[in-house]
């Protein structure tokens, strides 16, 4: 099996130069780079596809920056992306970030020859990025050229209509996050109430980023004007798990007394009641992204909005 020393000798350059060429680093003379790629190809030191990709200035690597806390959603994204990337001879390089400063640091690393394109998932803070090779997925910003957003207004309206059909007319909404998704949720909520001729009760809405979902729920339970709410909308399945546990601690049966609805992801946890939910196809998200990466045309992605599916569990014999 060939080694880096063999490549170095055949190309007539140092091992350091070979390493810089194979990693895509800048500052290597064109003649040296071509000599290394030729030696790599002849010695089969690396798979030919890598040498060919380097020759075309493409690494075949897609950087993925996860900026969200929901590990279940993150896992779903990564599984779907990896499956679709592998079908198209692309590879995934994962990084995590929880602030704009961290995102920018990671971008500096990934865009210095490591990755062809970058995906940023779930950032709930302003990014102000205009790079054509960066795609934002379910991020706070919705007006960028390359972005894939979830239709939170449609999801909330669908959820409310479903709950109303189940006889739940006192619907509380908890989403303690200051972002465009919160505004969209409120829009869908109001639209559903208006279409069903129901009054809007501001006391049933909690969207204060300074409070947690548990505090918001406790306010609902303590307030005599909202004590009789019989349905609860939450942002995702993790929030659903938290509020269900809290409701049960106060002898509230789910879904008999209060029907909990997750606006992004369903629950499948022993001991926790199944709940209705909106689910977004991670497979559809990944397929859309790969199409854009292959075509690189705005018509394929642009600013794309994805609608989720209504998931209704079998609630027979559930309390």
- Residue ranges of the chain with pLDDT lower than 50? 47-49, 316-319
Whether the upstream peptide bond of residue 255 has omega within 30° of 0, thus cis, is: yes
> What superfamily would CATH give domain 61-150+281-307?
Response regulator (3.40.50.2300)
Q: What is the DSSP string of 110-149?
A: HTTTT-SEEEEE---S------TTEEEES-S---SSSEEE
CATH topology identical between 61-150+281-307 and 152-279: yes
CATH (one of 3.40.190.10, 2.60.40.3080, 3.40.50.2300, 3.40.1110.10) for 152-279: 3.40.50.2300
pLDDT computed for residue 319 by the predictor: 39
Helix (H/G/I), strand (E/B), else coil: 8: helix
Quick one: which H or E segment has residue 262? strand 259-262
Q: What is the pTM of this model?
A: 0.75
- Report the alpha-carbon distance of residue 17 to residue 21 in Å, rounded: 6
pLDDT computed for residue 316 by the predictor: 42
- Strand order of the β-sheet with 117-121 is 91-96, 61-66, 117-121, 134-137, 147-150, 303-306
pLDDT computed for residue 48 by the predictor: 44
CA distance to 19, 70, 288, 290, 307, per residue, from 284 (Å):
37, 19, 6, 10, 11
Give the domain ranges of the chain: 4-55, 61-150+281-307, 152-279
For residue 149, the cross-strand partners are 305
- Report the alpha-carbon distance of residue 42 to residue 209 in Å, rounded: 59
> What superfamily would CATH give domain 4-55?
lambda repressor-like DNA-binding domains (1.10.260.40)
- Report the alpha-carbon distance of residue 216 to residue 221 in Å, rounded: 9
pLDDT computed for residue 271 by the predictor: 72
- Report the alpha-carbon distance of residue 169 to residue 100 in Å, rounded: 40
- Residue 150: CB partners within 8 Å, gap ≥ 6? 138, 181, 264, 280, 305, 306, 307, 308
Q: Give 133-177 pLDDT, tens digit per residue.
A: 888 998 886 666 688 889 999 999 999 999 999 999 999 999 876
pLDDT computed for residue 47 by the predictor: 42
């Amino acid at each position: 099996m060939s080694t880096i020393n063999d490549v170095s000798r055949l190309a007539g350059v140092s091992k350091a130069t070979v390493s810089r060429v194979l990693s895509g680093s800048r500052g290597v003379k064109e003649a040296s780079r071509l000599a290394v790629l030729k030696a790599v190809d002849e010695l089969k030191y690396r798979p030919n596809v890598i040498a060919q990709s380097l020759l075309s200035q493409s690494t075949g690597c897609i950087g993925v920056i996860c900026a969200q806390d929901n590990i279940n959603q993150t896992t779903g994204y990564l599984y779907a992306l990896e499956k679709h990337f592998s079908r198209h001879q692309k590879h995934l390089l994962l990084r995590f970030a929880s602030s704009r400063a961290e995102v920018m640091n990671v971008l500096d690393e990934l865009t210095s020859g490591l990755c062809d394109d970058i995906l940023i998932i779930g950032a709930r803070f302003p990014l102000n990025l205009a790079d054509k090779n960066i795609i934002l997925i379910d991020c706070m910003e919705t007006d960028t050229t390359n972005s894939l957003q979830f239709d939170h207004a449609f999801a909330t309206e669908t959820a409310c209509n479903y709950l109303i059909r189940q006889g739940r007319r006192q619907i509380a909404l908890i989403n303690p996050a200051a972002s465009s998704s919160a505004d969209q949720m409120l829009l869908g909520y109001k639209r559903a109430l208006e279409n069903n001729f129901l009054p809007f009760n501001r006391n049933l809405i909690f969207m204060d980023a300074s409070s947690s979902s548990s505090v918001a729920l406790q306010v609902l339970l303590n307030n005599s004007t909202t004590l009789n709410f019989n349905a609860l909308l939450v942002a995702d399945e993790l929030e659903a798990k938290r509020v269900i546990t809290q409701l049960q601690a106060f002898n509230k049966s789910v879904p008999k007394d209060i029907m909990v609805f997750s606006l992004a992801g369903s629950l499948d946890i022993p001991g926790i009641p199944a709940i209705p939910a909106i689910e977004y196809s991670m497979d559809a998200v990944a397929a859309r992204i790969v199409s854009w990466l292959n075509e690189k045309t705005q018509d394929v992605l642009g600013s794309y909005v994805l609608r989720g599916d209504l998931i209704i569990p079998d609630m027979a014999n559930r309390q």
